């Protein structure tokens, strides 16, 4: 996690070298972790993410033509495209996140102009901390800052989701873009994925830290399994809708309703629905838990969530289970669970601040002893969403 000031200076220098001018503005947009709300988003349910202290920086200046030139310092390449004709790039696929956002901003009626852009990110790609949404929101917020058009945070998040779904072609929910744009320091964001109503809940990261442990197992098979889970959930909602009125998605099924009718469901469908129904309950419960500052109880919800994801939703794997077990036996741990899609990627643990260093050392060593793999560990705080870091005075 390099120092922000150094990263800003390096990106400004890179911009000057590439484009011969100083950037007019530089923005940051963070990665995220989902604290609770595992696979609830596409069931129109509730999620509880935070924006974290890794991010994508975007520097930019408008040009007087219709060209967008964008450089990625991470990939060391520059691409150019015309605002009048935006097509997918099959070679520099990273640029499709940029192209998609620009494309759908224009489709939404925003008048853009050409710009030079340079991007630099320190969100670990493939870890499940959502580098793609951070790129989308960095570019969207940068263009908004440069051009000065009016657009609410939720609407910009929807543009980013559309870019990911329709332009890049990855079928994701709204959570990642939403938290990257609308995160708030020392708060978790409670989001209703159907209505997009949201609320900020206090999460004082000076007393507890969110520690992200990357198992280093890259998520294979996740796309086909993800699509399968989605269809199983749709099937569960369809079946339950025969007996419960007004069920459009699993978010409409209460725990009481589920308990009355679960015996009528095929076993696998029942397990998938049970996870989602009770995961939504956990997110709803976390509102009071966080408002009361009850971190022990919040950690217990992490533990419950993991068991449910492992046993009922079956999206865990040996590496994730091992990491969770190691973390639960490390100093100061209040709870631990897989985060994100599963099948690899990261776990998150809620850790008492005074134990963080011991926790990190114990967890790192314990995982390496049991798997032979050295994990990456990130101590995270809850940060603001997209914001301006530097601008020409």
Yes or no: say if 283 and 47 are a contact pair by the CB < 8 Å rule.
yes
Residue 64 falls in the annotated catalytic set:
no
Angle at Cα 10 formed by Cα 8 and Cα 12, nearest 5°?
Answer: 70
168 HSE (CA, 13 A, CB side): 25
**What is the separation of C-alpha 241 from the centre of its chain, rounded to a whole number of angstroms?**
30
Distance separating alpha carbons of residues 108 and 122, to the nearest angstrom: 30
- The H or E element spanning position 26 is strand 25-36
222-240 vs 267-291: helix axis angle to the nearest 10?
A: 90
Dihedral (C-alpha) 322, 324, 326, 327: value to the nearest 10 degrees?
Answer: 160
* Tokens representing residue 188 in the block: 């978790």
Asked if 90 and 62 touch (Cβ cutoff 8 Å), the reply is: no
- Of the CA atoms within 13 Å of residue 272, those in its CB half-sphere come to 25
For 144, other C-beta atoms within 10 Å of its C-beta total 19
Query: How far apart are alpha carbons 221 and 239 in whole angstroms?
Result: 27
Residue 204 DSSP label? -
Give the side-chain half-sphere CA count within 13 A for 248.
4
**Helix (H/G/I), strand (E/B), else coil: 177:** helix
Of the listed 55, 176, 214, 252, which one is catalytic?
Answer: 176
Which residues are catalytically annotated?
Answer: 176
């Amino acid at each position: 996690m390099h120092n922000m000031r150094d990263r800003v200076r390096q990106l400004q220098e890179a911009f000057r070298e590439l484009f011969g001018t100083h950037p007019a503005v530089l923005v940051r947009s963070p990665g995220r972790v989902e604290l609770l709300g595992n696979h609830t988003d596409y069931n129109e349910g509730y999620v509880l993410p935070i924006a974290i202290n890794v991010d994508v920086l975007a520097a930019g200046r408008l040009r007087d033509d219709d060209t967008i030139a964008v450089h990625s310092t991470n990939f060391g390449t520059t691409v150019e495209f015309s605002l009048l004709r935006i097509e997918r790039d099959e070679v520099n696929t990273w640029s499709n996140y940029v192209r998609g956002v620009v494309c759908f901003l224009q489709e939404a009626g925003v008048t853009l102009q050409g710009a030079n852009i340079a991007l630099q990110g320190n969100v670990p790609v493939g870890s499940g901390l959502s580098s793609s949404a951070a790129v989308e929101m960095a570019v969207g917020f940068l263009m908004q800052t440069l051009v000065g058009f009016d657009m609410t945070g939720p609407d910009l998040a929807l543009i980013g989701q559309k870019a990911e779904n329709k332009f890049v072609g990855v079928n994701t929910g709204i959570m990642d873009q939403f938290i990257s744009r609308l995160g708030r320091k020392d708060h978790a964001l409670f989001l209703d994925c159907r209505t997009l109503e949201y609320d900020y809940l206090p999460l004082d990261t000076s007393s507890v830290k969110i520690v992200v442990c990357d198992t280093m197992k890259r998520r294979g098979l996740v796309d086909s399994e993800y699509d399968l889970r989605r269809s199983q959930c749709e099937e569960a909602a369809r079946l339950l809708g025969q007996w419960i009125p007004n069920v459009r998605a699993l978010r409409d099924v209460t725990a009481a309703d589920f308990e009355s009718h679960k015996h009528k469901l095929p076993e696998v469908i029942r397990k998938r629905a049970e996870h989602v129904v009770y995961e939504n309950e956990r997110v709803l419960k976390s509102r009071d838990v966080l408002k009361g500052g009850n971190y022990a109880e919040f950690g217990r919800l992490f533990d419950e969530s993991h068991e449910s994801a492992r046993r009922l939703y079956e999206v865990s794997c040996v590496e994730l289970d091992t990491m969770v077990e190691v973390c639960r036996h490390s100093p100061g741990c209040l709870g631990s669970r897989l985060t994100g899609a599963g099948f690899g990627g990261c776990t998150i643990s809620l850790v008492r601040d005074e134990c963080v260093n011991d926790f990190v050392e114990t967890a790192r060593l314990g995982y390496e002893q049991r798997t032979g793999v050295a994990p990456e560990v990130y101590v995270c705080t809850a940060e603001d969403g997209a914001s301006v870091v530097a601008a020409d005075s």
